[in-house]
Amino acid sequence: MLATLAYILPLVYGLQGADVVLSCSLIEEGGGMGGMMGGGMFKRTPATLVFRDLVDNAGLSPELVTPFNPPETPNADDLIFELLLPSIQIPDADSLLHADCNEQNIVCEISRFVPRDADADSLPAHFIGSVQLEGAGLSVTLVLQTSPSETPESDRPPLMQSKLNLPLSQSGTLLTAVVFVVFSRVPSVVAPIGGDVLLDCGFRQKDSIPGQDVALEWRIQHRGNGRKVLDMKVRENEGEVGSDVLVEREGTSAEADLLVREGNASLTLQRLKVSDEGTYICTVGSGEFQTQQVVQVHITQAPLVTLSEEKLTFQDKEPKKLSCECHRYYPLDVQVEWLSQRPSDEEPISFSEESSLSSHRQHSDGTYSLSSHLTLRPNEHPPETVVTCRVSHTALDTPTEVALTVGKPEPENVFWTVVLMVMISVVFLYQAFKMQTAGPVIKEA
Ligand SMILES: *[C@@H]1O[C@H](CO)[C@@H](O)[C@H](O)[C@H]1NC(C)=O
């Protein structure tokens, strides 16, 4: 009988969905030594986050579906957070599953959380789980609520987790329900100056009460400065959505309708400027829960590259100056390389060492300009040599190249010789003509 049960259970789990097991850290403030502002000491303890049935495994290949196996003997020192997702669907949750399999780096941190109007020691206890896929990907902040412990089948009191002093389940895990989620599926965006951008942020709540206020705040943090960008309070009443909105930046908006009806807290920023660059914090509050998600905005603008000369010819033995100008780019880092290819060269040769960079200039719109100067000598750059300025910048997929070909010098001496010869011929012909007309008439004998 027991044997059959043990056989059926994993099968049942398997049918429900795939589990995702993440290595995390429990972060605790403390150590008692950190006295400085925000520089408090943090203690990290290894922990495990288990998402039960995170994704529907229909259509998943069996090797992706590895059910979580709890430890054989429950251990009071283990920190295993077993997450049940009762009515919350995390969008794009399958990317977590795939990241788990592809060994993509996942940052996972858990910390204690006290909801509004709650006591620090009251039960159920709450935690914040923050999960980020390294690189672009999903970023989720979860509010976890400990589930009431199962009614023990024996009279044995439940095992208590040694650090948190919370009852463990029969299998030695901390059973928690995900009650609130704030997520971003695009936690980092790159956009050009003048462009529009949508900062993706959304939330899900386990038990949302109709008519409940939803508060949304977007802030920007950049180089130690923070400011509010948008503040919105929305309430849905009998199908009517009412909202109070405060916008601190022109061309900024969020949709009150989407916020209450779809949990879409995304922010639109129009006509981006360099000053819009920074870390945006999307804070959503609903009921007793409030948590946030971070979206990075990077502004880029590709340089316009030009050469100071359109044509270059060495008229005498004098060297010539050439500049490569990079106009109005952002961010600051730009690389300028000079290449030269003589007719006899198979490949262009870099000769950037001979160049010198101007200091960069910053324009009022925050963009930069910079020039690279070069002195070209005729013996090193014979006619037909192609001189190229190659500029690399983060806004460019491939470097921009501008080039010119060294021209043939005008054959000055030859020119004057020709002119002289023509003049002599003209004079000669004229003389001959005159002699013919004015000369003695040759009479017939
Ligand atoms: C929010 O709505 C916008 C526009 O419809 C959409 O592009 C975006 O994916 C949505 N984001 C979330 C988190 O629902």
> In this predicted structure, which of 152-166, 198-212, 266-280 has the lowest mean pLDDT?
152-166
Residue 5 pLDDT > 50, yes or no?
no
**Spatial separation of the C-alpha atoms in residues 142 and 203, rounded to whole Å:** 10
Residue 391 pLDDT > 70, yes or no?
yes
Beta bridge partners of 235: 242
Beta bridge partners of 80: 48
What mean pLDDT do residues 107-125 have? 85
Q: What b-and-e string marks burial along 5-39, b requiring 16 or more CB atoms within 10 Å of the CB? A: eeeeeeeebbeebbbbbbebbbbbeeeeeeeeeee
- Closest atom of ligand 1 to CA, residue 91: 13
Return the residue whose CA atom lies nearest to atom 14 of ligand 1: 264
- pLDDT, residue 412, reads 64
CB within 8 Å of 168: residues ≥ 6 apart: 74, 76, 78, 158, 159, 160, 161, 174
Our mutation pick for probing the ligand 1 site, out of 200, 214, 218, 293, counting the most ligand atoms within 8 A of Cβ, is 200
Q: Which of 325, 288, 327, 281 is nearest to 205 (CA)?
A: 288
> In this predicted structure, which of 20-24, 261-265, 327-331, 358-362 has the lowest mean pLDDT?
20-24
- pLDDT, residue 92, reads 80
Q: What is the pTM of this model?
A: 0.80
* Residues whose beta carbon lies within 6 Å of some atom of ligand 1: 198, 200, 202, 258, 262, 264, 266
Beta bridge partners of 349: 340
pLDDT of 38-47, one tens digit each?
A: 456 788 999 9
- Closest atom of ligand 1 to CA, residue 262: 14
Question: Hey, which of 26-30, 96-100, 183-187, 285-289 has the most confident mean pLDDT?
Answer: 183-187
- pLDDT, residue 185, reads 93
How far away, in angstroms, is 200 Cα from ligand 1 center? 6
- pLDDT, residue 59, reads 57
> What is each CA distance from 124 to 71, 154, 417, in whole angstroms?
24, 23, 103
- pLDDT, residue 9, reads 36
Share of residues in the chain with pLDDT > 70 (%): 84
- pLDDT, residue 317, reads 83
- Closest atom of ligand 1 to CA, residue 265: 13
Q: Which domains does the chain have, with CATH numbers?
A: 1-179 (no CATH), 186-300 (2.60.40.10), 304-407 (2.60.40.10)
Cβ atoms of 116 and 288 within 8 Å: the answer is yes
Return the residue whose CA atom lies nearest to atom 13 of ligand 1: 202
